Amino acid sequence: MERIDSRQWSAREVARLLALVETERRYYQEMVASLPVALVVLAGDLSLVSANRAFYQLFSLRTEDLRRKAIEQLLPSEVLLEKIRGVHLDGSRADLFLDLGIRSFRIAIIPIRNWDEETDAETLLMVERST
């Protein structure tokens, strides 16, 4: 049974809405890319999904370097890995000071939902070099 007040969206209306969504997505991507704080999104297997410019600069990476890297390759720490796992278990934010000898970092860990699959756990790391 079809509702009387329902109507089909025209192709023009759908195209307009998709253009608005795409414009908003690009706006937020540019905003995150230009932040001075290093941000990286990790997949459930702790591989790097995306990062902003500040993250690339902090670790002297190029875009192609991001592929097939896991966070433990850049920040080798069992404590960090345990904190990330703990964040996903209890769903709350965690902060960590990580001393790797010649470099020290302050790291905030936040669980986030995957844009495509809400059931896939992702992690947002905010990384700041500590002096």
66: its two tokens:
């991001």
Q: How confident is the model at residue 118 (pLDDT cuts 50, 70, 90)?
A: low
Pair 34, 53: CB distance under 8 Å: yes
Assigned domain for 43 exists: yes
Average pLDDT, the chain: 86
Assigned domain for 4 exists: no
Higher-scoring residue by pLDDT: 33, 1? 33
Assigned domain for 104 exists: yes
Assigned domain for 18 exists: no
Domain count, the chain: 1
Range of the domain at 90: 35-130
CATH number at residue 71: 3.30.450.20
Quote the pTM value.
0.77
Assigned domain for 47 exists: yes
What element of type H or E holds 92?
none
* Whether the predicted pLDDT of 19 surpasses 60: yes
pLDDT at 9: 83
Assigned domain for 8 exists: no
Rounded to an integer, the average pLDDT of 59-79 is 88
Assigned domain for 10 exists: no
